[in-house]
Amino acid sequence: MSHALQFYIDGQWVAPSGNKTLDVIDPSTEEAFATIALGEQADVDKAVAAARAAFPAFAATSRAERLALMRRLAEAYKARYADIADALSREMGAPKELAHRAQAGMGTAHLAKMIETLESFEFEELRGTTLIAKEPIGVVGMITPWNWPLNQIMCKVAPALAAGCTMVLKPSEIAPINAIIFAEVMHEAGVPKGVFNLVNGDGPTVGEAISRHPGVDMVSFTGSTRAGILVAKAAADTVKRVHQELGGKSANIILDDADLQKSVKLGVESVMRNSGQSCNAPTRMFVPERLHEEALAIAKQVAEPLKVGAPSADGVFLGPVVSEVQYEKIQRLIEAGIKEGATLVTGGPGRPEGLNRGYYVRPTVFGGVTDEMAIAREEIFGPVLSILPYGSEDEVIERANDTPYGLASYVQSGSLDRARKVAAKMRSGNVYINYPAWDAGAPFGGYKQSGNGREYAGFGLEEFLEIKGTVGFEAA
């Protein structure tokens, strides 16, 4: 990586202010394959100064100018698509098919949807004699995670560009290479200098510096609830807007009239995809008590053939999890599930057979799980499914909502009307009925400790705008 030891600030690649570096680990081999520079407060100061200087001119650009820029970005992204997908597979362990189809593909999809949104978005509206205007909020600090890296980068960068904001991005230091390539793509697209800036670093240094910085008008953060709380506290002194998409422990309610075979199969596969590293994965599967044993048998039948292996190998469904820290956390929670008395249906501690190196986790299913168990309460962020039996519909709704999180819920039923009624009672930002196709136009975000604000399409664009009311704009 020619720019791995540099930052992108004010339209050029520059040397860091300090000399700290970090190895980027390939989770399939546990070996370093790249080294990046780690930023400091001085680097954030330079990036924020560049973004502030660029803001007045960029905020004044027309819709047509921003659309032209975003279309150039789409072409430049397409030209580096394979490089981005390969980097994602290498640094976070995504199987090559998933990396190329979904991980890199999310960037294309979100950018296309934001272009479509900007084409018709209303920035001004006259209400009586008052003009209601939506204006860019200013300089946005962006802190993004390692699990769907390009998805979250584009979910922030695209609406910021559409709004007319300037930005400073700190990607995850665990999976930073895709972001460096993305900065090269932004440069190739001709983004005006200072509009987009990239500073690599860790959360306690660069993340906190961005959150505290008086020159940053908004922080958009995606990551754990624990880290989100720290970001909000750091931002509080400057009363900046804090937009967050945080953790989840999503319930998957299979009602008694659902197709059990199909519902359990798709539920298992949804949890195991991306090695369980998705904040909205349906990790708590609720099944009727009388169908519990049958559900366990189906889950075992589905999970055991799922191939775990090197991301570059053919037919792999699960690659490694991203890091040693993540691997050890997952192992601890699997052991807790066994100790607390859940039924281990398949999987369990340790690596899958034949894999002695790399952060590989066995696809694990627990049955007979109760609400107070750690595996039912904590966000595991690995390929671990908990199946919980329930009695009545009212009971399962109450138990599904009994969580500090509220990112997503899933409802399976043979009756769409019944599913809709259950969905209306779920305390989560998204509800998915009968495993629908992904929708780039649906709002994405959570209730409770899963965050605040929304991403995707117009909902995401609104987050980067301030509302101004000019009273008396029209003569009475």
Domains and CATH numbers, the chain: 7-246+450-470 (3.40.605.10), 251-440 (3.40.309.10)
Give me the catalytic one of 40, 173, 184, 245: 245
- Catalytic (active site) residue 245: yes
- Closest by CA position to 174, among listed 323, 51, 317: 323
Tell me which residues of the chain have a pLDDT lower than 50.
Answer: none
What local confidence, expressed as pLDDT, does residue 1 receive? Answer: 57
The dihedral sign for the CA sequence 252, 383, 81, 121: positive
Q: E strands, 98-184, where?
A: 124-127, 130-136, 139-143, 166-170
What local confidence, expressed as pLDDT, does residue 476 receive? Answer: 83
C-beta separation of 463 from 159 below 8 A: yes
- Catalytic (active site) residue 379: no
Cβ neighbours for 273, distance < 8 A, ≥ 6 positions apart = 98, 281, 317
Rounded distance between C-alpha atoms, residue 69 and residue 196, angstroms: 12
What local confidence, expressed as pLDDT, does residue 259 receive? Answer: 98
Give me the catalytic one of 279, 379, 455, 463: 279
pTM: 0.97
C-beta separation of 285 from 296 below 8 A: no
